[in-house]
Amino acid sequence: MTTPAGTAASAPASTPTTTLPGGTWTMGGLTVTRFGYGAMQLTGPGVTGPPADPDGALAVLREAVRLGITHIDTADAYGPHVTNRLIREALHPYPDGLHVVTKVGAVRDAQGGWPVAREPDDLRRAVHSNLENLGVESLDLVNLRLGDAEGPQPGSLARAYETLAGLQQEGLIRHLGLSNVTAEQVAEAEGIAPFVCVQNLYNLAHRGDDDLVDRLAARGIAYVPFFPLGGFSPLQSSELSAVAARYGVRPMAVALAWLLHRSPNILLIPGTSSVAHLRENITGAGLALSGQDLTRLDAIGR
């Protein structure tokens, strides 16, 4: 992160206290741990308002960095503004090597909805709001969020993506990414400006992006699944439960481990508001699955 000059150091040290599963991946010039952290769950119910336990939220963020995580995913729409301000309070000035990834393209309304906000002025406001609330002069990586709550929707991304590319040229953004997009929109973006990651819905049971994962891996582009554990509807599968029982772990541990096995370009950002659950996710993602069990799991979403 690029922080304003002259800020006194107070953030936790970035020296990891454990080895995270999956190693690292480089997105453009950003080398991050493949096991990251998604901050969405640090808000109140429905991703709205402050957390019930603000001190606990700060503790999760600090523990994530203490454990060596260098990839934190957020959005200024979470809360709104809640997660970014918590990240700043917990971690600013940011340790060397820590990268905070945000997204723009939607805002929150009074009813808790996520209305589209992709006009050039909307995107400029969103970028500047992220800069202010995170307390930085430039953003490491900004994902353009398309589609809606139902998933990716067809249509050109050119106008919105060109706006972000312009903000990148101004030095406000280091790298670009895409979120909630179709394969056709990915192809369209390739002709406009380079991007370093795609963030879409993908997990053991939702495998519609299998071909896209492989195509991006061949090009050295990261794929970041949101809702890696199913999101608001946790993954349920008799086969998943059976595999988990054989290893003596919870099914969600197997689901995370499977994602890291699936492809080296997959980066995990599971969210939690609990330090204990954060540690549990890390342990689960490091589970070594047998070839036979990987074959069984591969069949779940196909």
Domain membership of residue 5 (yes or no) is no
Per-residue confidence (pLDDT) for residue 8, from 0 to 100: 32
Whether omega before 264 lies within 30 degrees of 0, making that bond cis, reads no
- For strand 71-73 and strand 99-104, is the pairing parallel, antiparallel, or unpaired? parallel
- Tens of pLDDT, residue by residue over 58-92, are 999 999 999 999 999 999 999 999 999 999 999 99
C-alpha to C-alpha distance for 174 and 78, rounded to whole angstroms: 22
Domain membership of residue 244 (yes or no) is no
Domain membership of residue 254 (yes or no) is no
Domain membership of residue 121 (yes or no) is yes
Domain membership of residue 106 (yes or no) is yes
User: What number of other Cβ atoms are within 10 A of residue 212's Cβ?
Assistant: 18
In this model, does residue 205 exceed pLDDT 80? Answer: yes
Domain membership of residue 297 (yes or no) is no
Per-residue confidence (pLDDT) for residue 233, from 0 to 100: 63
Query: What CATH code is carried by the domain that includes residue 143?
Result: 3.20.20.100
In this model, does residue 234 exceed pLDDT 80? Answer: no
What pTM was computed for the model? 0.93
Domain membership of residue 293 (yes or no) is no
145-149, 201-205, 226-230, 244-248: least confidently modelled range = 226-230
Q: Quick one: pLDDT band at residue 4, thresholds 50, 70, 90?
A: very low
In this model, does residue 190 exceed pLDDT 80? Answer: yes
C-alpha to C-alpha distance for 50 and 57, rounded to whole angstroms: 10
184 or 7, higher pLDDT: 184
**Percent of the chain topping pLDDT 70:** 93
Q: Quick one: pLDDT band at residue 43, thresholds 50, 70, 90?
A: very high
Task: Match 């689960």 to its residue by tokens.
Answer: 284
Task: Return the C-alpha torsion angle 243, 246, 252, 254, nearest 10.
Answer: -60
Q: How many structural domains does the chain have?
A: 1
Q: Quick one: pLDDT band at residue 2, thresholds 50, 70, 90?
A: low
Asked if residue 288 lies in contact with residue 247, where contact means CB atoms within 8 angstroms, the answer is no
Per-residue confidence (pLDDT) for residue 229, from 0 to 100: 85
The residues, any chain, with a CB within 8 Å of residue 133's CB and separated by 6 or more, are 76, 81, 84, 85, 88
C-alpha to C-alpha distance for 144 and 162, rounded to whole angstroms: 10
Question: Active-site residue among 78, 94, 161, 202?
Answer: 78
20-24, 31-35, 107-111, 122-126: least confidently modelled range = 107-111
Q: What is the mean pLDDT of residues 37-61?
A: 97
**Dihedral over Cα of 89, 95, 98, 103: its sign:** positive
Q: What is the mean pLDDT of residues 231-238?
A: 76
Does the annotation mark 37 as catalytic? Answer: no
Structural domain range at position 184: 24-236+263-279
Q: Encode 12-36: b = buried (16+ Cβ within 10 Å), e = exposed.
A: eebeeeeebbbeebebbebebbbbb
Q: What is the mean pLDDT of residues 273-287?
A: 97
Domain membership of residue 16 (yes or no) is no
133-137, 225-229, 259-263: least confidently modelled range = 225-229
Per-residue confidence (pLDDT) for residue 18, from 0 to 100: 57
Name the packing angle between helices 183-190 and 158-169 (round to 10°): 40
Per-residue confidence (pLDDT) for residue 230, from 0 to 100: 83
- Tens of pLDDT, residue by residue over 19-34, are 899 999 999 999 999 9
